Amino acid sequence: MKSFFFLLIPAVVLIRLGFPPFNLAPLTLAGWAIMLSYILSESRTMSRALGGAWLAGFIWNLSMTVYVAFPHWATSIGWVALSAYLAVYWLVWAWGCRLALQKKIPMWFAAPILWAGLELIQGHLLSGFLLNQQAIAFYKAPVLLQLAEYCGSYVVSFILMLLSALVYHAWKNYSEGQKPLLALLSIFLVVGLVAGIGIFILNETNDKLSFDNNPIKDGEFTLISGEESAPTLNIALIQGNTPCLVDCKPEHIEERFSRYCAKSFDALSSSPRPDIIVWPEGMFRFPRIEISDKEPVPDPNFKGTKEQFLEILRHNSETYQPMIGNWAKNFDACFITGVDRCVFSGEDILMYNSVVAVDSYGRDIGQYDKRHLVLFGEYIPFSDQIPILKQITPVGGGMQSGKRVVLPLTFQKENGTNAIIAKTEESDASGNDNSDWTFLPSVCYENTLPHIIGHQVLKAKQPVDALLNLSNDGWFKGCFENELRMAQSVFRAIETRKTHIVSCNSGISAHIDPTGHILQHGDRETPSFWGGTVKNEYIPISLKKSGLRNYITTYTQYGDAFAGCCLFLSLTLLFNPLVQPLKSSKSESEEGKIDNLEKK
């Protein structure tokens, strides 16, 4: 119990202070160094070390995912379950570190590869969850993040754990009366090397960013003469800052819709006038109702004939289907919005969380259905096997996953009018036509997972001007969750070297350049439980053509290869009986004298 209060609690607090909303990133290193001291103490049994690691992880994850409990009382169960699950990774990491110690594998090597490998599993298992990724702590220092272009955000977590292990070694040497000079020099060397490489990559990337110097031709960068300026697209991100409720009344939905319409017209009256109006996830009031080839069957509670049911359904479909296009005509601008899509198919009503884009004339440009559903938010695990879960949770039957990996939204400016229209067949399919623009849409937490966005860019097989994410964080009462999401958006921009545009109800809407710098962002909703007020706004963006629109990064090409290698090394070094101790017998005897803070 003594070690719990004097080691684990300080470690948890220090690690937590490194993340939003505190953002004291260097404290994270000290926190993990204390965790290593607790785990590796020779006086502590394996079971106590692992139990303490799980408990520390549980407490830390409770503090990092508290927003999960905000939407509904039932999601509090999901909050606790999610935190308990995420704490298992801390336990496995502690177990791996103990095994590495027994095999005399240096902790500065074992701790980072173990953690990066475990984060890879966490990012894929049970639909994936990385809003608590360690790399987030340093998202405000883009110079330290540039290696993500090659290895993904996992490499930043790797570096953080490497530095933490070196801090542990320095502390260990000092506590044993030895000079920690080598460990301290190693810390400065790693930081200097990462920063130096980051500066070099930033300079190289900034040179490529210039469209004037790097127009795309046959997939290569070529220098052009003259002073041709990069084409520009003006975009207005509408951030309504409207709270969301599970049991939302019709008048609240109407009020929210009116706010978004009013703020859109405000944006359209500004200069320069927006070419595109973007609303966040699910903010368009009226659903898209579609009828599949499989004839719908009336609900048993429907009072009427099958023909009457089909007639009502067709009428609603014809009424609601063109509404987004009608509003685009009212705006006299391209309109991209999140909307619920309902597909009636046989006895089923299939619900999709979709992005719909229509041009200035109300014609569809494209439609993307969210593929990666949120655990406890859009689906409940095992709800098909345990139907009662659908009744006691607000998710109900849940959403359907989209079928297509990616659906690029490609459009152009109409000659003469400059109106945004769907790309025509006459446009140059190679992407050399500077009037073409292509966005890759994603919804909600899809942009928090590196492999999802990287795979989309690779599968697009065409030049990409921007990643576009539509989200709704109105469920979370303006807490730090939206900053965690913005941090992950920074990494997606670096990993793909694409501009990342985020439109998010209640914040934080943002414009992030391909180097990870946040060029513009909206205000975060003031937490309602602090007695604050909300501010409705729009964020004007001038998006210029980038010389990187046809560029495929190493991470995009090879995906999670780095983290996969870390996972493979972890398994090989820890569980391969052929791996022998790395020290001599004399060194083994000295290494066995691990620091015992409690005895001291």
**Quick one: pLDDT at residue 78?**
85
Host H or E run for residue 512: strand 510-512
Whole-angstrom distance, CA of residue 502 vs CA of residue 441:
10
**Quick one: pLDDT at residue 536?**
60
**Quick one: pLDDT at residue 238?**
93
Q: Are strands 466-472 and 276-278 parallel, antiparallel or unpaired?
A: unpaired
**Quick one: pLDDT at residue 268?**
94
**Quick one: pLDDT at residue 35?**
96
**Quick one: pLDDT at residue 290?**
87
Q: Tell whether omega for the bond before 322 is within 30 degrees of 0, i.e. cis.
A: no
Whole-angstrom distance, CA of residue 546 vs CA of residue 466:
9
Strand partners, 441: 468
Host H or E run for residue 88: helix 75-102
- Count CB neighbours of 99 within 10 A: 17
9-15's contacts with Cβ under 8 Å and 24+ in sequence apart are: 10/34, 11/35, 11/38, 11/56, 12/56, 12/59, 12/60, 12/63, 15/60
**Quick one: pLDDT at residue 4?**
66
Distance of CA 298 to the CA centre of its chain: 39
Among the listed residues 364, 317, 361, the one whose alpha carbon sits nearest the alpha carbon of residue 336: 364
Write the CA distances from 575 to 90, 99, 507, integer angstroms.
18, 9, 45
Full pLDDT tens readout for the chain, 600 residues: 666 668 899 999 999 999 999 999 999 999 999 999 999 998 889 999 999 999 999 999 999 999 988 888 878 888 999 999 999 999 999 999 999 998 889 999 999 999 999 999 999 998 899 999 999 999 999 999 999 999 999 999 999 999 999 999 999 999 888 889 999 999 999 999 999 999 999 999 988 876 554 444 433 333 333 334 678 899 999 988 777 766 667 788 888 888 899 999 999 999 899 999 999 998 898 888 888 888 888 887 888 888 888 888 888 888 888 899 999 999 999 999 999 888 888 878 888 999 999 999 999 998 999 987 877 666 666 566 566 655 555 545 567 888 877 788 988 888 767 788 887 655 544 444 556 899 999 999 999 999 999 999 999 888 899 999 999 988 887 789 999 999 999 999 999 999 999 999 887 999 999 999 999 988 876 544 433 444 668 899 999 888 888 899 999 999 999 999 999 999 988 777 666 554 443 433 444 443 443 444
- Count CB neighbours of 421 within 10 A: 19
Q: Are 44 and 60 in contact (CB under 8 A)?
A: no
Helices 26-39 and 46-64 pack at an angle, to 10 degrees, of 150
**Quick one: pLDDT at residue 529?**
40
pTM for the whole structure: 0.88
**Quick one: pLDDT at residue 597?**
39
Which segments of 301-375 are extended strands (E)? 334-345, 348-358, 364-369
- Count CB neighbours of 123 within 10 A: 22
Host H or E run for residue 491: helix 481-496
Burial of 381 (0-12, 13-18, 19+ CB in 10 A): middle
Neighbouring residues of 166: CB distance < 8 A, sequence distance ≥ 6: 108, 183, 186, 187, 190
Q: Report H helices in 176-229.
A: 181-209
